[in-house]
Structure 1
Amino acid sequence: MGKLRKIAGLAAGAVAMGAAAMVVAPATADAAPVPCGRKVAACIDLSANRAWLMDAGQVTYGGVPITSGRPGYETPVGTYKVIWKDIDHWSKPYNGPMPYSVFFTDSGIAFHEGSLSELSHGCIHLSHAAAVKFFNVLQPGETVAVQP
């Protein structure tokens, strides 16, 4: 019932304020500070377990929850370029699926759909919705920043 009230309240607010006033930000945007510069297309904050899509220093999506590399498989910190993408990649070393992969290191580190409760072998795990969004938005050559 609480969700229904929230939806009804949002609809009533939209009618009262006008539809144009309701277009403010993506539903997943949050107020956490983004630790990356203006020239990145994607920003990862490993200590906050969050990632964002960016355009000219402005958040276009996120921060979304992530999981990253477990001990011994830490996600490398630094600035990278998107190298390639594979919508249905299969990891040969770990014998498992990596749907919606966006690779940004030569060693195989990627954003991809994965568990948000288990740490990875270095990749950035995203929810299904976030993985689809990152896959559709990020293009080869765009910059990814990984902050500690």
Structure 2
Amino acid sequence: MRRVMLVAVALLATACGAAQAPAAAPSTVVPTPVVVPPTVAVTTPDPQPAPPPPPVTVEGTPCDLTRGACVRLSSKETWLIDGGKVVFGPVPITSGRPGYETPTGTFPVLYQVKDEWSRPYNAPMPYTTYFTDYGIGFHEGGLDVASHGCVHLSPDAAVRYFEFLRKGDQVQVVG
């Protein structure tokens, strides 16, 4: 019985692969490069401020300024505005004749000359308040005659505009 047992153990050891296979020769492994896709940075845009509110037209005028003068050429009138409200006017005006039209737009008051004299037209221009760099402004002038581009005011209105307006105030001229 001992013999049967030894034979059985020997068979079992052989059948289960107790014997080792010869070692294989070492192989050289070349690593495969790994390609990493570029990183795409995802950013969230900064929030933008809300757009400014639309300008508010000063009641009774076609203009939207806070301080300065408003001129409407079509109705030949002007106003002084302070704090977004009319403080003087409307008062009558005359403006530029054909070929010498008064410019439209928004302009800053540049400077003032109490006793101005127009060299090109050889005429007085009392209480001049300039609002363009090419000689256009408010001044005392006839309300029955068109100008060479300036805004003519009555004597009282010219003084009032001269005293109220300051350098940097806005003059808004609309058609």
TM interval, shorter chain, is 0.7 to 0.9
Length-normalised TM-score, structure 2: 0.65
> Aligned partners of 2:67, 2:81: CA distance in 1, in Å?
6
Match runs of 1:1-148 below 5 Å: 33-148=60-175
How many matched pairs?
Answer: 117
1:81-122 superposed Cα distances (whole Å, 9 cap, x missing partner): 000000000011111100000000011001000000000000
Deviating above 4 A after TM superposition, structure 1's stretches of 4 or more consecutive aligned residues are none
Whichever structure has more helix as a proportion of its residues is 1
Gap regions ≥5 residues in structure 2: 1-58
The structure, 1 or 2, with the larger RCO (C-alpha pairs under 8 Å, 6+ apart) is 1
For structure 1, the residue ranges without an aligned partner over 5 or more in a row are 1-31
**Structure (1 or 2) with the greater strand fraction:** 1
1:45-87 deviations in Å (ceiling 9; x for gaps): 0001000000121000000000000000000000000000000
Amino acid at match of 1:66: I
Larger radius of gyration: 2
Supply the RMSD in Å over aligned alpha carbons.
Answer: 1.1
- TM-score (normalizing by structure 1): 0.77
Determine the C-alpha separation between the residues in 2 that align with 1:48 and 1:70: 15
